[in-house]
Amino acid sequence: MAPALLSLLGLLIVWGGGQALVPPSELKQMSAAGSKYIDTEVENAINGVKQMKTLMDKSSKDHQAILNTLEETKRRKEEAVRLAQEKEQELAGKQEVCSETMQALWEECKPCLKHTCMRFYSRTCHSGSGLVGRQLEEFLNHSSPFSIWVNGERIDSLLERDQRQEKQFEDLEERFGLLEDEVDNIFQDSTQVSSRMYPFFQPPFGGFREAFRPPVQRVRLPLRSQRLSRELHPFLQPPHHGFHHLFQPLFEMTQRMLEEAQGGWERPLGGFASESRNFSDDRMVCREIRRNSAGCLRLRDECQKCQEILGVDCEQTEPGQRQLREQLEDALRLADRFSRHYDDLLRSFQAEMLNTTHLLDQLNRQFGWVSRLANLTQDTDGFLQVTTVFSKAPNPSDPSAAPDTQVTVQLFDSEPLSLTVPGSISWDDPRFMETVAEQALEHYKQNVIE
């Protein structure tokens, strides 16, 4: 009779002031009930990862369209720059006609230009005026009035801008590739979990991977190195970092660069003689002068003799000179327009990726944990195992209230976990194991993403 009573009433074992409520035979049923809840959550997470992959595939298609537009814009920009360089060379071949006049004006322009630039630099910048002065003097001594006559620094500026854009593009491509690879890894791991849970969906009857993975053609530039991948991989682990962190710093840096470029010294493209300076960002101006003494040529409007160089007209002695200068200006204007459009495309792509990675981070925090189960072998009794159920000691402040229940479980491959269920939910209530499984899963998720 003792075994029968033991089976009906459960084991009564004193433990820390409480009692064991559930016999071993019941623990298996509770484990099955909890595992059923976990199975549902795993299935929901697999579907959530499918949403991540669908979002990434759409982003990849959009990315391909942006790449095509960028390629076409870059091609047209380079054609315009080449045309400007050709016209500059043609003009250089004609400068000898007016060289004597321009050289005389240049000798009077140089000291004024140096004085004006150094006065501005000393007033605006905090250090390095001596070094800048020596660099500027050397630059002017090796320059010719032709650099002012054709505004040659504008081509240099376009070429420098092209290098910056190329580096920015390569950085974006590397980061986008990391994002694609990481989402794909999460998806692949989730397919393994799905294949073990639902083996009857395996080919030839169909598969999770094949059913939810639309074909996407990838166009990927070869990575310059694995440096960026190694540096950014830790950022893909939420919540401290995440997919969003791949593009946020780059976006902020690009915004600052564009603001500096547009707010530093910006001249209208309509003519050679008119120029407008905006000193809204003095730090950028200082950096430009320190890096490139040719930046001082932008101050030519402050010196009368420099302005007169711009007005030298060789049309009478060299027909076609005016037309060449107009063609050069047209080419520069066209190159600048395509260069700005290229910047807009890059900025638009980065903004789109910020939105996309924000959504991916939300989905990953909610569902990405399921990919950690890829190499886990499921127990025959389910993912959740209940080992002990104890009634805790009554609350001294409210002895009439039902005591809470302490449950020890093991979920997946984690360490045993002790959970507390309110005394208002009895262990034979269906809500009991749902509460236990929900708490265990939340604890597992927190450990996964930390």
Output the CA torsion sign for 117, 163, 151, 318.
positive
User: Which residues, 6+ apart, have CB-to-CB distance to 242 below 8 Å?
Assistant: 235, 236, 357, 360, 361, 364, 365
Per-residue pLDDT of the chain in tens (450 residues, 90 and over written 9): 444 433 333 333 334 445 556 788 889 999 999 999 999 999 999 999 999 999 999 999 999 999 999 999 999 999 999 998 888 888 777 666 566 777 788 888 888 888 888 888 888 776 667 777 788 888 787 777 776 666 666 777 788 888 889 988 998 899 899 999 999 999 999 998 888 776 544 443 344 434 444 443 343 434 433 434 434 444 444 434 578 777 766 555 555 555 544 444 344 323 323 333 444 445 666 776 777 676 777 777 888 888 887 777 766 556 667 788 788 889 989 999 999 999 999 989 988 988 898 899 989 989 999 998 988 776 667 899 999 998 887 877 777 788 899 999 999 988 999 999 998 998 889 999 999 999 999 999 988 765
Q: What is the DSSP string of 151-194?
A: TTHHHHHHHHHHHHHHHHHHHHHHHHHHHHHHHHHHHHHHHHHH
Give this prediction's pTM.
0.69
Could you tell me if 208 and 194 are in contact, meaning their C-beta atoms sit under 8 angstroms apart? Answer: yes
Q: Where are the domains of the chain?
A: 2-54+374-449, 55-373
DSSP SS3 for 349: helix
Nearest to 20 by CA among 391, 387, 385: 391
Q: Give the whole-angstrom CA distance, residue 349 versus residue 342.
A: 11
Q: Give the whole-angstrom CA distance, residue 303 versus residue 54.
A: 61
Q: Give the whole-angstrom CA distance, residue 28 versus residue 219.
A: 52
Could you tell me if 52 and 296 are in contact, meaning their C-beta atoms sit under 8 angstroms apart? Answer: no
Neighbours of 190 (CB within 10 A): 29
User: What local confidence, expressed as pLDDT, does residue 300 receive?
Assistant: 79
Backbone phi and psi for residue 221, each to the nearest 5 degrees, phi listed first: -70, 145
Beta strands in 196-336 (DSSP E): none
User: What local confidence, expressed as pLDDT, does residue 74 receive?
Assistant: 95
Beta pairing partners, 409: 386, 417
Q: CB-based burial of residue 37 (10 Å sphere; 0-12 exposed, 13-18 middle, 19+ buried)?
A: buried
Neighbours of 435 (CB within 10 A): 20
Nearest to 344 by CA among 120, 73, 91: 73
Helices (H), 264-397: 282-291, 304-310, 321-367
Angstrom distances, CA of residue 277 to CA of 264, 285, 298: 7, 10, 8
User: What local confidence, expressed as pLDDT, does residue 6 receive?
Assistant: 34
Angstrom distances, CA of residue 155 to CA of 77, 332, 393: 12, 7, 83
